[in-house]
Structure 1
Amino acid sequence: MGLMWLRKPVLWHSSRVATFNFAGLTEPQKRILVARWHNWYTADWDYGQTTLAFFCAAILASAIVNLFARFRARATPVAGKTKGPGFLDKATAFFRYAGARQFHVRTTGWYAPPLAALIGVAGMYMFTMVLMLAARPFYWPNDRMGHSPPLGTRAGWISIAIMPFMIAFATKVNFVSVLTRTSHEKLQVFHRWSALLMYVTSLVHTFPFIINNVRLGLMEVSYNGSPWYWTGVAALTYLVALSWGVFRNPYYETFKKLHYVASGLFMAALFIHVNFRLTSWDYFWATAAIYAVAWLARVFRTLYTTGLGLPATVESVGPALIKITVAAPSRFKWAPGQHVFVRVLGLGVHALTSHPFTVSSLRGPDAQSVELVMRVRGGLTRALAGRAAGKAAWATRVVLDGPYGGLHVPLAKYERVFLLAGGTGATFTVPLFAALAAEIKAGGASCARVEFVVAVPDHDTYTWMESAVAAAAAQLPADAVGVRLHLTRTEDSKVDASDPAVGALHGRPVLSEIVREAHASAGKVAIVACGPDGFLYDVRNAVADAQLLIADGFGACTDLFLHTETYRWGSPP
């Protein structure tokens, strides 16, 4: 096939001066050739910039909705208010229903993203299909009109215009997160589906050229003599095919490394493929800028906050549970509920990987301890458990990248707060509980009662958080706090019965009943949940049902806020 080289001279943009040959064309064919949505020389404006405008408008709309939600959350509830939901409350509940509702395909075990995310993905798909397929014809009725079929041209520009957003959705630091206050892991669904959409438009771009060349008997010559017929799709096929969970999750670390390699090959191949046609390379500069800013921001922040490593200890804190305690400087700051990516040095091949864990401790004013509690599964956590086995603690050094995520609404502004945790999901809710209890004790908070509900297999699994939960509960009077401990696997009776703040129950919590209790408890209620997929599925759909009650005007609750955190968005470490 020969080597792939760019055409000479290499330019930033190719010429936009039209060189149409109208010989042998009818008048209607001449008019359509220069018309908007058909003119090859303005296709980048018509389709590429229109796609950019759509994604930018969608992100801006999400930012406005998020800004409204933040202002609403900060509003202080009116004491003694008994009036039911108003129009604004009902409208908000309707939109929140979409944010809470979730579907589960039992035959495959797949938990779908929330309905709001599915609607967003469907919106991307519908926009792309309409923009790509609305204009006719798909092929030129006369071969003299050009060698680029209209369908192939427009699909190519739509595909390349998706690329900067697809990369932005994937990076941990990105402008979408900044504008919408949405943590990076929640944007992964849009990264994956925009990549699939880019793949679909790439195929639609490719096949019309193949059909034309087969029809004209030029396919073999074009394939052998021009790299532009095959450089655009091969790497993207690999990226999309192996990114599905059935391939990704079992071998996540291998997948991640190969994904980076394949992404680099794809970008290089596509860069050659478009060959500075019109403004095609502008999209590469935008993509490179988005990725470079994200990478440099992470690198410089990590070097500033943790340098080349911080002293840490690893110890066992329960059945299949380990805790990393990092001595962090005061310049490393985080808020309750945020997570960090941890790279453990001195752990062999695992030092080359980093994994996300929620910080389960609160930040102090000076020198502080960053505590990370994790369940032992495979890979990194199994290696850490092996190093800590048989000893009080194993000393090492770690690098922390973060923090990321967390809540962006003040829980203290709600009359009732319910914190729900399944297993090690308590690493997210325990610091929120402690911080909220301290804020209520200090005065100035609207919150009148906090309910902390945690489900663990047995009391030994509860031990690591017991002192923190008890200390937080002790800051509040008995009528302002409730702790419910659900022991799901044993008839364990190790809980201190003298502590009235802790109610030990046996069996799994009925989450739908807890949500109904929350909905009936006050006018302004917040529910925060973290746990396995099934746990969050039950909470989400129970809250969705409650949102419909608010939208219908039933009950005294006018504002029911939900925030959920999942265990993982890739594969468990």
Structure 2
Amino acid sequence: MESSYSLWLLPRHEGHNPTSLDPNDPGNTKADPWAGQAKYARAMAYTCFALIALAALHALARRFLSLPRSFLALSRYFAYKPILPSRQQRRASRRETFLRRAIDVRLPVLGVFIFLTAFMAGFTIWAFIIKPYYRTDSTYGSPPLALRSGMMALGLIPFVFALGSKVNFIAMLTGSSHERLQVFHQWASRFVLFLATVHTIPFMYQPLHEGGVAGLKEYYFAESINITGTVAFAMLFFLVFSSFRSLRNWSYTLWVTVHVIVALVFLAFMFIHCQMELTSWRYLWGAAALYGLSAFLRIIRSLNNSPTFLVCHAQLEAVPGGITRIRLDTTAAWSPGQHVFLRFPTIRPLSNHPFTIVSLASPNGTTPSTMVLMARQRSGLTATLYQRALDCGLTEGKEPGDEEETMGLRSEHSTITVPVVVDGPYGVSASAADFDEVLMVAGGSGITFVVASLLDFAWQWHRTRTERGQKKLSVFWSVKDEECIEWVKDQFEAAQAIIPPQSLQLTIHISRSGTEASPIGPQGEEDGEVDKTFSLAEPRPQQAHEGCDGDGLIVERSNRRANVAFEVQEFVKGISRSGGENNRTKKRAAILVCGPHSMSEVVRAEAANMQLDLLKGRLDQISELKVLSEHFGW
């Protein structure tokens, strides 16, 4: 008997019409027929659209409506609560093996975890609850289980490509940013791989069961659709497993280049594999269109960011502590906390590195702004930039007074200018000027995220002439050594000159033992992620204090890591103490954090516990507590 299989079609044997089989056929071919398989891809797409619409409505409600205090607290509890304890506690409870370090899957927060589990479990149950899984004989058609799982995967592919793009309609509708959607991109990709595996196994099992290894070999090489399906599956497998953080951080620039190429190869082979059957190409064309539109809009935005509509020109300056200060003029407009991707064509044309913007945009919006960024020297592009700045003697031979002020940022005139392509800005605003009490927590070079919000807070204070004592801002920065203070010394001085001392407190924790925090942007870029652990529950050690309390500056020196959880707890207690029993005015509080993943995890865990206190009415002086963080460490 001729053996002819298709991943998407019923076999078309000569003289055999699969749509008019004997109704008494034990194979029950009319159950879940091939012609009705398109409904599974359609259901997947409609479900995703519905979820995006709900998220968009929620974003609109947060922006234009005054939501109840209990609703905000409950939703933020699920948005902040980590699933697993800190990495420090996990290391203490079990020994990490090489496999655990290699895979290193980071679970999302509680709310996202519940959402993803329900989504994936629902479609998995739907795929397996329908019978039959197989036809009685392979001549009656392809296994229904394989067909419906494959169509479900097809329906999800356009959303995977959209979620992985920097410019995408999902971020626009939901008011989010591409880096915050990466968790959905990653887990949706893994779910597509799972569905593709369920799609593949029945096509291998049935010929193996009916004809043994020889039957499987005959089936596999009978049609090219099996070969193209194997290549597409291999590409998808590589995309998913090469994206685990330990492998990705080994060489981030190389990983990005390979990841994009392999994704395009996967999409091309999916076109060949599906052979335009049913509605398969609709979803593939949708994925191609979304990715192509994103790339096109990024090119237009990059050209528009330059005053000459070509490339910008950046000045590089080496700063003590291994920092390269990058200054460039651009027509782009940005908000505090946003970031851009920089590509240096004459230095490393393949590297597209993210940097958080330190300066503020021009307030009038009609003249070009001076964008200031800082790159922590590690390896790869950041090391090349720093070395290039040193070689040109950017910190030597300067005349006194050869400086200029730009939005509170002082920069020496650089002797090197390099072309740069600016892609962005991206990210949501981290402005905390609307809050009454603000705590900004930074680890290492994560201070750049905090500095932008600090300058914005000071600028809004100056513009609105806020009364003394009406608002308070505390900054806690944990660094390795004292020379790191030079990174943002000018910005701190600018903020102190505007905000009264009783409303501003700057605390710098210097660890003598020295454990650095994370780099800017996706933690690890080509450099590998630095994920040092911060104390979660230990009491605050005795520190040596020095500085000028009158200016709101405290410098702590300690041979122990910073206790970030204690700082958050003291911040909330301070709000309660300042309110007093007779003051019934509730204050809006915010916590900004940027640093290693363990630092952000501790802050979010503490904030989640305080959301429960808000629900129970224990924090009477606080109307809401919001956490703003830079979502990297993909």
Of residues 99, 103, 113, the one that matches 1:118 is 113
* Residue range with higher mean Cα deviation, 389-398 or 372-381: 389-398
Match of 2:225 in 1: 228
Match of 1:274 in 2: 274
User: How far apart are 1:147 and its partner, in Å?
Assistant: 1.4
Correspondence list, 1:424-443, <5 A: 424-443=445-464
State how far apart, in whole Å, the 2-side matches of 1:176 and 1:205 are. Answer: 28
User: How far apart are 1:296 and its partner, in Å?
Assistant: 0.5
- On the 8 A contact 1:185/1:569 being kept in 2, the answer is no
Match of 2:472 in 1: 449
Correspondence list, 1:200-211, <5 A: 200-211=194-205
- On the 8 A contact 1:152/1:206 being kept in 2, the answer is yes
Of residues 42, 51, 54, the one that matches 1:49 is 42
- On the 8 A contact 2:342/2:353 being kept in 1, the answer is yes
Which residue identity does 2:123 align to in structure 1?
T
Q: How many matched pairs?
A: 530
Correspondence list, 1:391-540, <5 A: 391-392=393-394, 393=414, 394-407=416-429, 411-443=432-464, 448-489=471-512, 497=548, 500-507=551-558, 508-520=561-573, 521=575, 523-540=587-604
Match of 2:328 in 1: 326
Correspondence list, 1:4-153, <5 A: 20-26=18-24, 33-34=29-30, 38-45=32-39, 47-71=40-64, 88-102=68-82, 103=84, 104=86, 105-106=90-91, 107=96, 111-141=106-136, 146-153=140-147
User: How far apart are 1:241 and its partner, in Å?
Assistant: 2.5
Of residues 539, 560, 568, the one that matches 2:625 is 560
State how far apart, in whole Å, the 1-side matches of 2:344 and 2:221 are. Answer: 49
- On the 8 A contact 1:312/1:395 being kept in 2, the answer is yes
User: How far apart are 1:464 and its partner, in Å?
Assistant: 2.2
Of residues 612, 619, 623, the one that matches 1:548 is 612
State how far apart, in whole Å, the 1-side matches of 2:495 and 2:598 are. Answer: 28
State how far apart, in whole Å, the 2-side matches of 1:66 and 1:53 are. Answer: 20
SS in 1 for 2:221: helix
Which residue identity does 1:443 align to in structure 2?
T
Pair 1:368-2:369 in alignment: yes
State how far apart, in whole Å, the 1-side matches of 2:453 and 2:633 are. Answer: 21
Pair 1:172-2:223 in alignment: no
- On the 8 A contact 1:459/1:487 being kept in 2, the answer is yes
Ranges in structure 2 where 5+ consecutive residues have no aligned partner: 1-5, 7-15, 395-413, 515-542, 576-585
SS in 1 for 2:335: coil
Give CA deviations for 1:198-231 in whole Å, capped at 9, x if unaligned: 1111111111122222233342222113121232
- On the 8 A contact 1:148/1:209 being kept in 2, the answer is yes
* Residue range with higher mean Cα deviation, 474-483 or 317-326: 474-483
Give CA deviations for 1:403-446 in whole Å, capped at 9, x if unaligned: 000327x6333221111111111111111111112212322879
SS in 1 for 2:461: helix
Q: Whose relative contact order is higher, 1 or 2, with alpha carbons under 8 Å and at least 6 apart?
A: 1
Q: In 2 relative to 1, CA 376–451 (structure 1 residues): closer, same or farther, beyond 3 Å?
A: same
Q: In 2 relative to 1, CA 291–310 (structure 1 residues): closer, same or farther, beyond 3 Å?
A: same
User: How far apart are 1:532 and its partner, in Å?
Assistant: 1.2
Provide the TM-score with structure 2 as the length reference: 0.78
Match of 1:13 in 2: none
Match of 1:3 in 2: none
SS in 1 for 2:592: strand
User: How far apart are 1:499 and its partner, in Å?
Assistant: 5.1
Which residue identity does 1:560 align to in structure 2?
L
Q: In 2 relative to 1, CA 490–280 (structure 1 residues): closer, same or farther, beyond 3 Å?
A: closer
- On the 8 A contact 1:481/1:501 being kept in 2, the answer is yes
State how far apart, in whole Å, the 2-side matches of 1:303 and 1:493 are. Answer: 51
User: How far apart are 1:302 and its partner, in Å?
Assistant: 0.7
State how far apart, in whole Å, the 1-side matches of 2:115 and 2:161 are. Answer: 17
User: How far apart are 1:29 and its partner, in Å?
Assistant: 6.5
State how far apart, in whole Å, the 1-side matches of 2:429 and 2:174 are. Answer: 13
- On the 8 A contact 2:328/2:372 being kept in 1, the answer is yes
Of residues 136, 145, 155, the one that matches 1:161 is 155
Which residue identity does 1:182 align to in structure 2?
S
Provide the TM-score with structure 1 as the length reference: 0.86
State how far apart, in whole Å, the 2-side matches of 1:175 and 1:543 are. Answer: 30
* Residue range with higher mean Cα deviation, 411-420 or 351-360: 411-420
Q: In 2 relative to 1, CA 343–243 (structure 1 residues): closer, same or farther, beyond 3 Å?
A: same
User: How far apart are 1:457 and its partner, in Å?
Assistant: 1.9
State how far apart, in whole Å, the 1-side matches of 2:556 and 2:190 are. Answer: 46
Ranges in structure 1 where 5+ consecutive residues have no aligned partner: 1-5, 7-17, 76-86
